[in-house]
Amino acid sequence: MELIDAFESAYREWDRLVHEVDERQWDEPTPCSDWNVKDLVNHLVGEHLWAPHLLRGETLAEVGDRFDGDVVGDAPVAMWEQTGSASHSAFHRKGALRGDVHVTGGKTPATEYAWQMTTDLTVHGWDLAQGLGVRSRMPDELADAVYDHIAPQAGSWHEAGIFEPPVPVPDDAVPQDRLVALLGRRP
């Protein structure tokens, strides 16, 4: 699966799930122990607020702290719609995935940044589905593509505390379960 196709697939599933949140579900827990449903959506909205700026070449200092804290307020779905649309357009802009972008660890290739954002949409989409008590519709092809891309880096991410240690799954586990287990979730 090509990167932009993976991004598109992950984006569509995340977007579908955000639109399924019932007003009474914003405080429901998610597999991310520090975040409820609203916190999780806030996290992704915050990341996607950065995307257009970083893909235009802005530095972290230029963006500053304007996207810290609660960025969704009382309108998480509307904020996702606005932010997601701008981010989606930024990733699809001609030439957006060429060159480097500034991230916390320094400069990284724009393609690697796009894979990181695709990974977050994919895995946090599963987290959101769990928080809502609905079935994730993560396509196998997407789960396989993200797994293949992140598996070589997963050990260092666990050591850095970004994700919990892997959870064992059977050899015949479906791709979605293999992916989320690699990142410390219990399918």
pLDDT tens digits along 82-119: 999 999 999 999 999 999 999 988 899 999 999 999 99
Q: What is the pLDDT of residue 156?
A: 86
| Whole-number average pLDDT of the chain | 95
Overall pTM > 0.75: yes
Question: 1-10, 59-68, 166-175: which has the minimum mean pLDDT?
Answer: 59-68
**pLDDT in the model for residue 66:** 87
The answer to whether 126 touches 136, Cβ cutoff 8 Å, is yes
pLDDT at 10 over 90: yes
147, 35 Cβ separation under 8 angstroms: no
User: Residue 168 CB: number of other CB atoms within 10 A?
Assistant: 7
Percent of the chain predicted with pLDDT > 70: 100
Determine the angle formed by the axes of helices 37-55 and 110-132, rounding to 10 degrees: 160
Confidence of residue 124 (pLDDT cuts 50, 70, 90): very high
Work out the average pLDDT over 45-56: 96
Domains by residue range for the chain, with CATH = 3-182 (1.20.120.450)
Q: What is the pLDDT of residue 47?
A: 96
Query: Residue 5: pLDDT band by 50, 70, 90 thresholds?
Result: very high
The reported pLDDT for the residue numbered 23 is 95
Question: Which of helix, strand or coil describes residue 94?
Answer: coil
The DSSP annotation for 43-78 comes to HHHHHHHHHHHHHTT--HHHHTTTT-S-SSTT-HHH
Please write the tens of the pLDDT for every residue from 128-167.
Answer: 999 999 999 999 999 999 999 999 988 888 888 788 889 9
Q: What is the pLDDT of residue 163?
A: 84
